[in-house]
């Protein structure tokens, strides 16, 4: 087992490994393989194989300098898209979290300063002390 791990580590010695470009081509390849299963299209299948082979070739490549500059080029070419995607992914996560909170929490405003508060749903009448203006008020949750 240790031998196997050793050999596995050795395999990647001095190789490029998974950089962002390889991760992206790997994901595209995977999506294309899934599409192949859905569409049974030969063209999609060949494209999937090309992406898979290209990814494997880049990961195992010993010309680290060249792969590195390819990756840098890819990063600068796609920085706009990746930033937009990250913002989008963040918004989606934010939305899901908020929806989940709405389910188990009640959000209400302080009657005095409009500071937002939240409390677990189903507690009945609770006394709330506003953390902003220190007003005490009763809220049914
Ligand atoms: Zn307040």
- Calculate how far, in angstroms, residue 136's C-alpha sits from the geometric centre of ligand 1: 8
Task: Express each pLDDT in 39-90 by its tens digit.
Answer: 999 999 999 999 999 999 999 999 999 999 999 999 999 999 989 999 999 9
Task: Express each pLDDT in 6-41 by its tens digit.
Answer: 776 777 777 888 999 999 999 999 999 999 999 999
- Calculate how far, in angstroms, residue 118's C-alpha sits from the geometric centre of ligand 1: 13
One domain, residues 111 and 74: no
| Alpha carbon distances (Å) from 7 to 2, 15, 17, 56, 118 | 9, 14, 15, 17, 55
Residue 54 token pair: 């290209």
Tell whether the model's pLDDT for residue 1 goes beyond 70. no
Question: What local confidence, expressed as pLDDT, does residue 47 receive?
Answer: 97
Q: Which residues of 58-88 are buried (b: 16+ CB within 10 A; e: fewer)?
A: bbebeeeeebeebbeebeeeeeeeeeeeeee
One domain, residues 86 and 136: no
One domain, residues 109 and 66: no
Closest CA to 82 of 74, 70, 91, 93: 74
One domain, residues 113 and 92: no
Full domain range(s) for residue 83:
16-103
One domain, residues 99 and 71: yes
One domain, residues 35 and 71: yes
Q: Does residue 7 lie within any of the structural domains? A: no
Average confidence (pLDDT) over 81-105: 91
One domain, residues 98 and 113: no
One domain, residues 90 and 135: no
Q: Which contiguous run of DSSP H or E holds residue 53?
A: helix 42-60
DSSP line for 35-52: HHHHH--HHHHHHHHHHH
One domain, residues 98 and 119: no
DSSP 3-state of 79: helix
Determine what percent of the chain falls in helix, strand and coil, rounding each to the nearest 5: 65, 15, 20
**Number of separate domains in the chain:** 2
In this prediction the pTM is: 0.59
- Calculate how far, in angstroms, residue 128's C-alpha sits from the geometric centre of ligand 1: 10
Residue with tokens 């920085």: 79
Q: Does residue 8 lie within any of the structural domains? A: no
Question: What local confidence, expressed as pLDDT, does residue 2 receive?
Answer: 63
- Calculate how far, in angstroms, residue 101's C-alpha sits from the geometric centre of ligand 1: 21
């Amino acid at each position: 087992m240790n031998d196997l791990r050793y050999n596995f580590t050795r395999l990647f010695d001095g190789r490029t490994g998974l950089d962002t470009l390889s991760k992206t081509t790997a994901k595209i390849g995977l999506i294309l393989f899934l599409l192949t299963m859905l569409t049974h299209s030969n063209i999609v299948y060949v494209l999937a194989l090309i992406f898979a082979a290209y990814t494997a070739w880049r990961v195992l490549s010993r010309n680290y300098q060249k792969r590195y500059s390819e990756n840098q080029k890819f990063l600068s070419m796609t920085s706009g898209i990746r930033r937009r995607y990250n913002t989008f992914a963040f918004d989606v996560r934010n939305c899901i979290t908020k929806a989940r909170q709405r389910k188990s929490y009640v959000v209400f405003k302080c009657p005095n300063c409009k500071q937002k508060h939240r409390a677990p749903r189903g507690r009945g009448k609770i006394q709330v002390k506003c953390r902003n203006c220190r007003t005490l008020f009763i809220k049914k949750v």
